[in-house]
Amino acid sequence: MAKKINVGVTGCGYWGPNLIRNFRALPDCKLKMMCDLNQTRLQHLGSLYPEVETATDYKQMLNGVNLDAVVIATNVKTHFPLAKAALCAGKHTFIEKPMAASVDHCEELVDIAKKKGLVLMTGHTFLYSPAVRKIKEIIDTGDIGEIRYICARRLNLGLFQKDINVAWDLAPHDLSIILSIMGEMPVSVNCCGSAHITPGIEDVTTMCLTFPRQRAAMIQSSWIDPHKVREMTIVGSKRMIVYDDLAPLEKIRVYDQHVDRPPHYDTFGEFQFAYHYGDVYAPYLKQEGPLKTECQHFLDCINHGATPVSCGTRGTELVRILEASTQSLQTGGAPVHFEKPANGRRHTLNPTVRKRASL
């Protein structure tokens, strides 16, 4: 039987209550403490879960209730100091996305966790959803052929953030999915955007990622769109997948459609692209809550000494892209290139900003 893990959650604002509810419901978790600076929020949650202790002092949570693990759901700028304190106190640590505000901070957290033999996990929730896992399964079987490009749109009206732009807020969801599908880091990224509501904080961005083998991905993020959109299109050489996370039933549709170029031709009249139109089908998806699956995965990794799917290294890779996107925004959308290490398959960020050629 798995050991019961003593867990504390810090950050009881927008997302923290969802984590509290899910961890509390898991049989091999003992939710021991909720921590937040806002006493009103703590009183409210304390009325919902009276058996869970509350505290406004994070040090009290780390040192006073014999926790095995800490879950961090605060604003991004506080992720690093809170996570570092948790790891140094010997606690397994779960950090909501994005993992930290810089690559340097991410790498320091990964190093501490490795030295202390602790589980470090970041909250890339969509990697645990039945829809994304099914998409990965379909792609890995080769059913859609070679990936040509991915286009993602994540739009809504709000919620506006004060400390990060819309790319840092919304794009991590799509980036985590894209990196999982592609299986490697991009070669370069460029990002354009505008700040319409709060000066200096972009509320609309378009990010373009270039991958090896002529593959690409585009991510559009917005806080000022009238429609809530959560959609991703994956175009392969044989078939195409449309993933609509807001669809109540058929979240995934696979289109048996593609275009073939003629192998050779002698006259213009012989030059005809072959358009293939086949069936459309929606694969069955098991009804599971991705957040519950993610929380259980964290506990399982602690109990079995396993590496999480969304481990600290994966969290660091995502922040590398976000850092590069910020550099690109600051240079008017110029591409930022990632250098590939001589002995590794994954690209790492040693950003080189190359100005666009004059037209």
Residue (of 156, 142, 88, 91) closest to 121 by Cα position: 91
What is the predicted pLDDT for the residue at 34?
Answer: 97
Given pLDDT bands bounded at 50, 70 and 90, which one contains residue 5? very high
What is the predicted pLDDT for the residue at 351?
Answer: 43
Question: Do the Cβ atoms of 143 and 171 come closer than 8 Å?
Answer: no
Q: List the domain boundaries for the chain.
A: 5-123, 127-289+319-349
Reply yes or no on whether the pLDDT at 244 is more than 70.
yes
| Mean pLDDT for the chain overall | 91
Instruction: Measure the CA dihedral 114/185/246/284, to 10°.
Output: -80
What is the predicted pLDDT for the residue at 158?
Answer: 85
Neighbours of 274 (CB within 10 A): 9
Q: Could you give the CA distance from residue 221 to residue 251 in angstroms, rounded to a whole number?
A: 20
Instruction: Measure the CA dihedral 232/214/323/178, to 10°.
Output: 30
Reply yes or no on whether the pLDDT at 340 is more than 90.
no
Q: Could you give the CA distance from residue 51 to residue 311 in angstroms, rounded to a whole number?
A: 31
What is the predicted pLDDT for the residue at 257?
Answer: 76
- Which fold, 127-289+319-349? Dihydrodipicolinate Reductase; domain 2 (3.30.360)
Helix (H) and strand (E) counts for the chain? Answer: 9, 16
What is the predicted pLDDT for the residue at 266?
Answer: 57
What 3-state DSSP class applies to 50? coil
What is the predicted pLDDT for the residue at 272?
Answer: 60
5-123 to CATH, choices 3.40.50.720, 1.25.40.10, 3.30.565.10, 1.10.510.10: 3.40.50.720
Contacts of 114 (CB under 8 A, 6+ apart): none
Higher pLDDT pick, 259 / 83: 83
Given pLDDT bands bounded at 50, 70 and 90, which one contains residue 234? very high
What is the predicted pLDDT for the residue at 350?
Answer: 41
Q: What are phi and psi of 357, to 5 degrees?
A: -70, 145
Cα Rg, the chain, nearest whole Å: 22
Q: Could you give the CA distance from residue 122 to residue 128 in angstroms, rounded to a whole number?
A: 12
| 351 cis-preceded (ω within 30 degrees of 0) | no
| Average pLDDT of the residues in 42-63 | 95
Higher pLDDT pick, 125 / 257: 125
What is the predicted pLDDT for the residue at 355?
Answer: 38
Residue (of 42, 102, 119) closest to 297 by Cα position: 119
The reply to whether 5-123 and 127-289+319-349 are identical in fold is no
Q: Could you give the CA distance from residue 61 to residue 41 in angstroms, rounded to a whole number?
A: 16
What is the predicted pLDDT for the residue at 64?
Answer: 81
The H or E element containing residue 221 is strand 215-222
What is the predicted pLDDT for the residue at 267?
Answer: 55
